[in-house]
Amino acid sequence: MARFVLTRLVQSLAALAILSVVVFVLARATGDPLHLILPMSASEEDYANARRYLGLDRPYVEQYLSFVGRALTGDFGTSLRARRPVGELIAQRLPNSLRLAAFAMTVSLLLAFPLGVLAAVWKGTGIDRAAQVIAVLGQSLPTFWVAIVLIEVVAGRLQWLPAGGIAGFASYILPGFTLGWFVVAGMMRLLRSGMLEVLDSEYVKLARVKGVVERRVVWVHALKNALIPVVTFAGIYFSILVTTAIVVETVFAWPGLGRLAYEAISSRDFPVIQAVVLTTAAIVAVVNLSVDCVYALIDPRIRYVR
Amino acid sequence: MTGESGGGAVAESLPAADARVRAGLRGGRRPVVSLSIIAVFVLAALFANVLSPADPDEQALRKRFTPPVWDASGTWQHALGTDRLGRDLLSRIIWGSRVSLTAGVLTVLLASAFGAGVGLVAGYHGGRVDTVLMRITDATMSFPVILLALILAVTVGPSFVNVVIAIAVILWARYARVIRGQVLTLMGLDFITQARIAGASASRIILRHLLPNTLNTLVVLITLQVGYVIIVEASLSFLGAGIPPPTPAWGSMIAEGRDFVTSAWWVSFFPGLAILLVVLAFNLLGDWLRDTLDPKLRQL
Tens of pLDDT, residue by residue over A48-88, are 777 777 777 777 788 788 878 877 777 777 787 778 888 88
- Which chain B residues contact residue A29 at CB under 8 A? 155
pLDDT at A32 over 70: no
Average pLDDT, stretch A205-232?
80
Instruction: Check if A188 contacts B (Cβ < 8 Å).
Output: no
Residue B275 confidence class, pLDDT cut points 50, 70, 90:
very high
Nearest by CB to A233, from B227, B275, B299: name it.
B299
Say how far apart CA B27 and CA B10 lie, in whole Å: 26
Nearest by CB to B280, from A18, A140, A281: name it.
A140
pLDDT digits (tens, 9 = 90+) for B218-228: 888 898 889 99
- Does A142 contact B138 at a Cβ distance shorter than 8 Å? no
pLDDT at B300 over 50: no
- Does B147 contact A14 at a Cβ distance shorter than 8 Å? no
Query: Which amino acid is located at B90 in the chain?
Result: L
**Nearest CA to A31 among B156, B148, B163?**
B156
- Does B268 contact A145 at a Cβ distance shorter than 8 Å? yes
Quote the Cα angle for A48-A50-A53, to 5°. 110
Nearest by CB to B145, from A243, A250, A261: name it.
A243
CA distance A29 to chain B (A): 6
- Bigger pLDDT: A108 vs A69: A108
Say how far apart CA B132 and CA B242 lie, in whole Å: 32
Quote the Cα angle for B118-B123-B125, to 5°. 95
Task: Find the range with the poorest average confidence among A147-161, B74-88, B100-114.
Answer: B74-88
**Cis bond upstream, residue B245 (ω within 30):** no
- Bigger pLDDT: B126 vs B152: B126
pLDDT at A127 over 60: yes
Nearest by CB to B298, from A22, A229, A262: name it.
A229
Task: Find the range with the poorest average confidence among A21-25, A27-31, B95-99.
Answer: A27-31
Nearest by CB to A19, from B139, B145, B251: name it.
B139
How distant, in Å, are the alpha carbons of A1, A104, B27 from that of A250?
Answer: 41, 16, 46
Selected residue of A230, A243, A262 to mutate for chain B interface (largest B Cβ count, 10 A): A243
Residue A121 confidence class, pLDDT cut points 50, 70, 90:
confident
Give the rounded percent of residues in chain A with a pLDDT score beyond 70: 92
**Residue B213 confidence (pLDDT):** 85
Average pLDDT, stretch A261-276?
80
Residue B6 confidence class, pLDDT cut points 50, 70, 90:
very low
- Which chain B residues contact residue A250 at CB under 8 A? 239
How distant, in Å, are the alpha carbons of A27, B62, B76, B79 from that of B69?
Answer: 48, 17, 6, 5
Report yes or no: B54 and B88 within 8 Å, Cβ to Cβ: yes
Say how far apart CA B113 and CA B106 lie, in whole Å: 11
Residue B108 confidence class, pLDDT cut points 50, 70, 90:
very high
Residue A216 confidence class, pLDDT cut points 50, 70, 90:
confident
Average pLDDT, stretch B18-40?
72
**Residue B102 confidence (pLDDT):** 92
pLDDT at B295 over 70: no
Task: Find the range with the poorest average confidence among A61-75, B31-45, B89-103.
Answer: A61-75
Indicate the average pLDDT of chain B.
Answer: 81
What sign for the dihedral angle of Cα A171, A174, A179, A183?
Answer: positive
Q: Which residues pair with A78 in a beta bridge?
A: A85
**Residue A245 confidence (pLDDT):** 87
Residues 6+ apart with CB under 8 A from B185: B9
Average pLDDT, stretch A117-146?
87
Instruction: Check if A30 contacts B (Cβ < 8 Å).
Output: yes
Report yes or no: A64 and A253 within 8 Å, Cβ to Cβ: no
- Bigger pLDDT: A239 vs B299: A239
CB hemisphere CA count around A7 (13 angstroms): 13
- Which chain A residues contact residue B251 at CB under 8 A? 142, 144
**Residue B107 confidence (pLDDT):** 94
**Residue B20 confidence (pLDDT):** 56
Residue B3 confidence class, pLDDT cut points 50, 70, 90:
very low
ipTM over 0.90: no
Burial class for B60, CB neighbours closer than 10 Å (0-12, 13-18, 19+): middle
How distant, in Å, are the alpha carbons of A26, A244, A277, B116, B160 from that of B156?
Answer: 11, 23, 19, 28, 11
CA distance A18 to chain B (A): 7
pLDDT digits (tens, 9 = 90+) for B219-261: 888 988 899 999 999 988 888 888 887 888 888 888 888 888 7
**Residue B18 confidence (pLDDT):** 61
Please state the pTM of the whole predicted model: 0.83
